[in-house]
Structure 1
């Protein structure tokens, strides 16, 4: 990993650490505790009190400063029927958070109003907290000073970089100063009570209050003017009461965290240290992915690598089909299935397969170890989780089945620092054990969420009886009914063949520790202990008392009991392996169907590839032929020119030759005549002898004259010959040149003829190639057609085999339907699940049943499991040691053994759930990476990114499930302001308050789709679930259109008539109610409250317990409507039909903000908007975004009633859009009800 990335990660982790350190929860809400204490006191007064322990909270004021704190506690304990108490947690002072926010905003050069802050905070926060032992001793280092009031003081005096003044070391120094001043050893008690030396008195707490007031409050926040209660001197005391010392000894000391309730900084620090030393990137588990996660906002754009699973425009349909075929191959799906007659929908199955990551191809390799799933409301996130759970349990069972004796699966380890035999802490458990094959740990599952309701929902939903989902329907064949019956029998505790006996000898039927699950979840409607909520101390205590303790009592009374169960384990192992063989054989057969489709598709792709390549080659050949033809034509033209030029040269040569021949003939004739003349001259001169010269002078003279004549003739002829020779020489040169030109042009012509021949051969060759390519196209088409015919002939066995053995085929027709613009057709494809048959699913469900049976027998026939459970109980402080003492383990032993203890616990309970806030404490001694096999984050869109760090660090794989289109994480306004003090450019993108675990994971995920968000830059989300099964229209339409770009498909059944008759109205509607809001950022409108009560009167007149929520975007409106209903019912007592206790019930919330209702649903929802048309409300109106509207609308399954001022809410694009959808739907509903022959006037009235 490059150094720059590591440095960035450290910077971000440091920033997150600071945010967690600065965050402070609101003052403890004691309403629920006060109610329980009142009931406890009443039952004690009546002599019916049976509680052994109870949590209490008392509020004291400055008037109580002179009283004896411990007498107050003792009196309270006595009234509650208790004699002992635990540590006292004291909250000192209280200030309005809003005043702190105002003060911070004055100092920092930023304004919250710029972000459209909708309303004021109504929270109060404590100034400080500390703990006192039951004996009155101050508990060292328990003092916690409000980070907010401390930060306020720091930023006022800061110079330069404000963020440097917010360092946690400076805070620790300030706390140490206070601690030294007020709680140094040797100080005397102010009230003189004979408790511990220096017992902390109320007067000393009062002194501490005054010191904090002087240092941090005065000069910043004042009680004056109209606000006399900006801060107040109060002392809240929280503590646990116990019936006796025995009960108290069972209780572990409380997990006191101070005021900040800082659940995450320890884990952030741990990840920071591992990043700094380079160990994280080398861990072999999620280390590299964790660093990618931390730095994801600076990650390069992965757009080219992303695979769009919904709108595959970039990859094209053919590649899309190939990708779907690979992802959905039957061998890449879980071997088992969650028992239900219904199959996961297409996108659910895609998400399951990619999550469990069984595929080995490059496509699966691109997925990485962190996978995100986007589940809009009602799209089956729990169904997805169930399938992953089943897969993990079966894959682990395959590994466990390798052992004939479960104890052979473990390696033994010694304790290092115990005081018992061999360094142990108990003589009965001298070793702790880890799995010999680490792969077993790949399949443990931790479900985490920042939403406690989501955690509880998972823990209740998984063990819940699924017999209703396996019930046959009227139209089912006898064969299918029998298959469903077989599968159901494995999960029906009443019909189970497995009989168990409690330690008392009471027999009962069991599926998977069913009795313990029923006790733990306080419900008979469960089948097994497949999940448990841990994390919180109360959950651990409940789990120990209702699971671990009775498990040991019933099955682990002695080591011989476990050995006696080995034969039962071996029978379960055999049954599992036999069923596994059945499933794998069926899988192999169904894989043939997939292979047929893949083979046909490959043949078609190959044919298309051949066609493309051949057509490309043919096109190239034809282009070459065309080019060659042009070249040939040009060459022929050139040839004509050559021939014409040659003709001219030949003509010239001929003329030169003729002229030369004529001249040469003349020369020859002249030379012949010259010779003859010379001979005649010589003869004439010789004809006169000496005598003639002497004696015949005339004759001599005549002869000389003749000779001279010949001489003259000769001279003439010689001159003539010379002249001719002069003419002949240039003619010869001219003839030579003409001959050379002719030879050259003739050679050029020969070469031309060769070129012509070559081009003609080339053209012939290219034409031959074209014929070959055309033959290849025909052959490829024939091959593809044969494959298609074979496919169509053989696939009938899988599509026409009856309801139990037929399956949906994944081919080009399926993809065409999937991507169809026709909603009904596309929806049909989305709800399908290719390749699975009813028979195969039933056998997979049976395999799951046999895997659970194997898992159970493995656990209870293993003494090593037994010992680890005992050690875990010791570690939790819930099981006393050999001398009935609490065992305290050495840190080194804890860090060595605790990971293995939890890994064994995951074997007993396959799914453990916890809030993020509790993960750090639950796994505080798990500092090894990869201890947990798979982390599942639920409602990840609500969790701030840093919340998941510790859970991710401890895991091997992660599946992040949530929805960024629902409400974002809640961040207090004071922290939003303090964030702005950090001005490092690298941290700018991390200041966005909408950032979530889901958003970070989505950016890492290559599988997903793009959502239109109304900008030029669509938003990438991870693998989306598309089939919506919660809401009818118009709630579905509001959600789908406003938040999801229309990609969801509706599969929601409407309410039955008898159910719908009890609803307030026959359809959803917008109810326009005008009025004046309270003002000062209190957006409650009394007229709207009146309308709500009118609706409630109707609701309660039809149903004494209506399934109804009242939801608002604003806390001020929620407070307003709760008060209004309370006053309305009091005013109309005896007349109103409204049950105020039912509507205002604290535990079963029916009224709240949108944020608090995420994950919940009701038949009807009143969405109470508040606000008026005044200027003061505009910011609040603009603050309401698509996410809030989406969540509010989708809480209502069948009806949504929006109450608001239409004029005021016109300014909100998303709210007015929702109104348009509601109105349009109403028109359609009324239009559908109109009779065809209804008069136009009546028709118009009906639709108005």
Structure 2
């Protein structure tokens, strides 16, 4: 809201006129413009700016309401703006719906009135805009038909004169409410030549307000509906939700860098630069990381310090994207497969446009290069298609492809507008291929359409005649293709096969390196294993020796015990022998006694009792044999029987008693014999014992086996130690064998890798690559001249295939591109089908891979497109862009590569810091979105996992993938910026040859120095004494016939810029202005005029508060830096003290 567009000062040469009473207006017949001759298809259109005011006045009003920080220095914005504007046709009538009320002027009036800001501002602003439009429309029109119930009234604009313009000014002042806040009286009119067909169209112009305000409103509305893509969603992510733990510092984690730049990841396409000049390592890492987004969505940040090859990096990314689309194109059996077969259309007046939607597989490659800085995008899109953007070695090949070289050359011509039929002048830059184009503002778009599409030569037969794309495609329609689609795709595949063949070779080396890493680790591990196995074997051997020693000790103990027991056994044997001999003697004597004594007696008893028993038995038998007869028994009446029976019983008793006595005698004899037998047995046993003992003693008592527990334990320990020793010895042998095998394998592999290292040279990650940062980062890995040649050839083959596609489907492409021209020129109907508009854009991007625009023009250029409609957004100089600038572009994009440097110039803000803080608090906006504190680059960097840390204001700052090889500045400039801003991050890759040639060409030029001019007298921040020294320098250069376009004179303050810009009128080509004007530029010589009022130290503190300003100023200088300023006042300040130590001080000349 507080970022109004500038209104240029009056300048008749640029058709900017001041409206004055009594003087003709530009549409009136007495004005000078009436005499201008323009083509019949052209017309004048005029922009009327009502109420010119100084933009600094807005700053002053805000500073009065929001008390400024006394310790800070906020420089006032320069230039003028207006409180309202509208368009007037060549007939002097206002173009209805072209009126614009300045939101900045209205808000300034509102702040002044309410002494603050409020949440209902947007609604109040809309009311004011509606009031202004209604009152202005009523005034500038006449009612020609009053209307009725069925028909609204019709109003026709009337011709306006000076008095009418003054009344319009009054209406604007009333609607804006600025009468008390801003002093406005003047009216300016900008006159422009436009195509007659567009002359009466208001075209949706907003001449005054922030270019992005309406787009921000759209994005906010869609975001509230969650209609938001990954790129913008990531961009808006709160700091607390960013996974900072995943960050990888590429200066420390070389393993990640090596893996991230492996051959498999190297893009197939490459820009046609010198094959021997590979990208720097981090340039390659950035390209690979960006290319990796193709299969996904999101954004990455690339930190590009000055002179580190941001454009070079982007060119390789562009080349790879073109190749990837060509790979998908080559996969089509027929070119018609590129379209879905559907037909869309719209009407523009009487013209019907037919659009063929694309196969989704061929979309997503649209590349938009955007920046806040028009010069930045112009530089890149002019550089990419220029003939000197490719190496001489590729010129012939590129000429053979001839990717619409004439059109590319025409688009590079410096003219402000297209000149139909004109052939580019010989001194104009020449193109090599139609790979990029400037769009953006209306003038650029019209110029592009005229040259790219409609151009026809005045003399078609002329050698240098060339045709626009419409004529080219018409010719293609009338002429069959030179070759079949199959042949065209085969040529591409042949080039692709060569790239993949070399990739496979490099991949094999990489895999061998990867294998070697494992192998080296394996050898180291195996050596450790061998050492450990040896240690274990030695330990086992020592333990065995200890066990054997212990066994020996315990064996001796056991032997002593055994000998003692042997002696005990021998003594026991002798004791047994003595006992046995005693037994023999005792028992033999007993036997003798028993045999001669009791046994003899018992034997005699037995003999006696046997005779007695026999006699008694015989008597009994005889009695038995002589019983009484029957007669005697009868005669005696049985008495004889009874007598015989009594005697028989008595005799039987006598026999029994005799037997009893005999038995007892026998028993007595047996008992004695038993004693004798027992004694004899004892004698026999004792005799046996004596014999055994005597044999034992004769033979000798053996040493007994003794069970000695310590010995048993010791012997078990020895057995265990033996087993362990055997095992460890075998293990050591096995480990040694494996080590030998690994070392032999490593030796063979090292031999192969040595050959690869010799072939690849600095593109091979040898030991020095890991140890020497400069060696490592100067050149990307694997991309030697052989592979670079194949990859660049593939890019040219991809362009050839794209061109062949146009040859095969010229009608479809002509129809689609015609629709695209409507869109680019703003002639497509507002209600055109979104899908049709997108297909038209996709067709243009198919032919022209890259288009550029500023963020200011982005919404008007791509207003028809919705969320994630386009494939790629490349943001250049993103450190200068406020966070809000990129929101609309990111919303419409799937992938974004954000390139810039937060340590160069920061976003320019027109609000005092205190005012910005007050507005932020009122609308509850997080401080991270303050335009004065952050940038698109910083927001992207925080989301990028690959990066590094750089010094920050209060703490180190994380930046995305850092480009580190600087190839612009000689010393001392390189050393200054590297120390001031980058903590030694950058590596000096500047070839000395250019500096040596410069010194040889201008031997009298002094070396870089600081001319000390005390700031005694001042005009604002301009020190006249410094101007004297500047003039002497410029005169000296002029006498040397130095090309002044290679000289830059800059200063930190606008007072200085105004003074030095007057010198640019005297010295043609001299670049002069504030340091901000130098961003993105370079010169052989830079003169830094420091200025600053002696009594305003806050201004100097502001200039030295951050490294950014000094970094930009110094890094513009390639060969010489001359500083003019008060050495005593500036040299103690932060960053400038580094400048003072590296640039010698001299007195004024």
Note whether the superposition's TM-score is higher than 0.5. yes
Following TM superposition, by how much is the alpha carbon of 1:791 offset from its aligned partner in structure 2, in angstroms? 2.0
- CA displacement 1:290-325 (0-9 Å, x = unmatched): 2121124343450x311111133xxxxxxx336413
Q: Is the 8 A contact 2:272 2:792 kept in 1?
A: yes
Q: Is the 8 A contact 1:444 1:910 kept in 2?
A: yes
Q: Is the 8 A contact 2:106 2:177 kept in 1?
A: no
Following TM superposition, by how much is the alpha carbon of 1:459 offset from its aligned partner in structure 2, in angstroms? 1.7
Distance 1:261 1:255, change over 3 A: farther
What does residue 342 of structure 2 align with?
A: 413
| Counterparts of residues 490-889 of structure 1 (less than 5 Å) | 490-491=397-398, 493=399, 496=400, 511-522=402-413, 523=428, 525-549=430-454, 550-557=467-474, 560-561=477-478, 564-565=480-481, 567=483, 569-606=485-522, 781-782=739-740, 784-801=742-759, 806-808=760-762, 810-811=764-765, 813-819=767-773, 826=774, 828-862=775-809, 863-877=811-825, 889=829
What does residue 1098 of structure 1 align with?
A: 1036
Q: Is the 8 A contact 2:6 2:208 kept in 1?
A: no
Q: Which runs of 5+ in 2 are unaligned?
A: 144-154, 414-427, 455-466, 548-707
Q: Does 1:169 align with 2:107?
A: no
> How many residues are treated as equivalent by the alignment?
944
Q: Is the 8 A contact 1:88 1:134 kept in 2?
A: yes
- Partners of 2:532 and 2:133 in 1: CA distance: 84
Following TM superposition, by how much is the alpha carbon of 1:935 offset from its aligned partner in structure 2, in angstroms? 1.7
Q: Does 1:1109 align with 2:1087?
A: no
What does residue 207 of structure 1 align with?
A: 167
Q: Is the 8 A contact 2:387 2:431 kept in 1?
A: yes
* Structure index of larger Rg: 2
Q: Is the 8 A contact 1:1077 1:1171 kept in 2?
A: no
What does residue 268 of structure 2 align with?
A: 334
What does residue 1065 of structure 1 align with?
A: 1005
188, 196, 200: which one aligns with 1:248 = 196
Q: Is the 8 A contact 1:107 1:155 kept in 2?
A: yes
Secondary structure of 1:999 counterpart: helix
Q: Does 1:454 align with 2:401?
A: no
- Partners of 1:902 and 1:751 in 2: CA distance: 98
Q: Does 1:290 align with 2:232?
A: yes
- Partners of 1:777 and 1:413 in 2: CA distance: 70
- Partners of 1:1110 and 1:419 in 2: CA distance: 50
22, 28, 42: which one aligns with 1:72 = 28
Q: Is the 8 A contact 1:446 1:934 kept in 2?
A: yes
Secondary structure of 1:72 counterpart: coil
- Partners of 2:156 and 2:446 in 1: CA distance: 30
What does residue 4 of structure 2 align with?
A: 24
Q: Is the 8 A contact 2:367 2:873 kept in 1?
A: yes
Distance 1:356 1:780, change over 3 A: farther
Secondary structure of 1:788 counterpart: helix
Distance 1:214 1:168, change over 3 A: closer
Q: Which runs of 5+ in 1 are unaligned?
A: 1-20, 37-55, 190-194, 222-229, 281-286, 313-319, 471-483, 497-509, 633-749, 820-825, 879-886, 1126-1139, 1227-1244
Secondary structure of 1:598 counterpart: helix
115, 121, 132: which one aligns with 2:72 = 115
Distance 1:859 1:57, change over 3 A: same
- Partners of 2:170 and 2:710 in 1: CA distance: 114
Q: Does 1:346 align with 2:281?
A: yes
Secondary structure of 1:104 counterpart: helix
959, 981, 987: which one aligns with 2:919 = 981
Distance 1:833 1:1089, change over 3 A: same
- Partners of 2:726 and 2:932 in 1: CA distance: 69
Following TM superposition, by how much is the alpha carbon of 1:355 offset from its aligned partner in structure 2, in angstroms? 1.6
Following TM superposition, by how much is the alpha carbon of 1:383 offset from its aligned partner in structure 2, in angstroms? 1.4
Distance 1:26 1:114, change over 3 A: farther
Q: Is the 8 A contact 1:131 1:139 kept in 2?
A: yes
- Partners of 2:133 and 2:87 in 1: CA distance: 12
Following TM superposition, by how much is the alpha carbon of 1:1033 offset from its aligned partner in structure 2, in angstroms? 0.3
Q: Is the 8 A contact 2:436 2:850 kept in 1?
A: yes
Distance 1:606 1:96, change over 3 A: same
Distance 1:68 1:1055, change over 3 A: closer
What does residue 380 of structure 1 align with?
A: 309
What does residue 959 of structure 2 align with?
A: 1021
Secondary structure of 1:982 counterpart: helix
Distance 1:989 1:1177, change over 3 A: closer
Distance 1:348 1:252, change over 3 A: farther
What does residue 57 of structure 1 align with?
A: 16
Following TM superposition, by how much is the alpha carbon of 1:1097 offset from its aligned partner in structure 2, in angstroms? 1.3
Q: Is the 8 A contact 1:1072 1:1205 kept in 2?
A: yes
Distance 1:618 1:273, change over 3 A: farther
TM-score, normalisation: structure 1:
0.69
Q: Is the 8 A contact 2:526 2:739 kept in 1?
A: no
Q: Is the 8 A contact 1:454 1:939 kept in 2?
A: yes
Q: Does 1:308 align with 2:260?
A: no
Following TM superposition, by how much is the alpha carbon of 1:768 offset from its aligned partner in structure 2, in angstroms? 9.6
TM-score, normalisation: structure 2:
0.75
- Partners of 1:345 and 1:447 in 2: CA distance: 22
What does residue 905 of structure 2 align with?
A: 967
Q: Is the 8 A contact 1:532 1:913 kept in 2?
A: yes
138, 147, 154: which one aligns with 1:184 = 138
Q: Is the 8 A contact 1:129 1:259 kept in 2?
A: yes
1003, 1006, 1015: which one aligns with 2:942 = 1003
Q: Does 1:443 align with 2:373?
A: no
| Counterparts of residues 885-904 of structure 1 (less than 5 Å) | 889=829, 891=831, 893-904=832-843
RMSD: 4.1
- Partners of 1:935 and 1:756 in 2: CA distance: 82
- Partners of 1:962 and 1:554 in 2: CA distance: 40
Following TM superposition, by how much is the alpha carbon of 1:70 offset from its aligned partner in structure 2, in angstroms? 7.1
Secondary structure of 1:1208 counterpart: helix
Following TM superposition, by how much is the alpha carbon of 1:142 offset from its aligned partner in structure 2, in angstroms? 3.6
Following TM superposition, by how much is the alpha carbon of 1:1112 offset from its aligned partner in structure 2, in angstroms? 0.6
Secondary structure of 1:184 counterpart: helix
Distance 1:236 1:1175, change over 3 A: closer
Following TM superposition, by how much is the alpha carbon of 1:1214 offset from its aligned partner in structure 2, in angstroms? 0.9
What does residue 54 of structure 2 align with?
A: 96
Following TM superposition, by how much is the alpha carbon of 1:1005 offset from its aligned partner in structure 2, in angstroms? 0.5
- Partners of 1:778 and 1:163 in 2: CA distance: 83
- Partners of 2:351 and 2:204 in 1: CA distance: 28
181, 190, 207: which one aligns with 1:238 = 190
What does residue 848 of structure 2 align with?
A: 909
Moved more, 976-985 or 589-598: 976-985
Q: Is the 8 A contact 1:348 1:1025 kept in 2?
A: yes
What does residue 9 of structure 1 align with?
A: none
Secondary structure of 1:233 counterpart: coil
Q: Is the 8 A contact 1:22 1:147 kept in 2?
A: yes
Distance 1:760 1:1056, change over 3 A: same
- Partners of 1:321 and 1:589 in 2: CA distance: 21
What does residue 35 of structure 1 align with?
A: 13
Following TM superposition, by how much is the alpha carbon of 1:999 offset from its aligned partner in structure 2, in angstroms? 0.8
Q: Is the 8 A contact 2:231 2:896 kept in 1?
A: no
Distance 1:411 1:183, change over 3 A: same
Following TM superposition, by how much is the alpha carbon of 1:811 offset from its aligned partner in structure 2, in angstroms? 4.0
Distance 1:136 1:844, change over 3 A: same
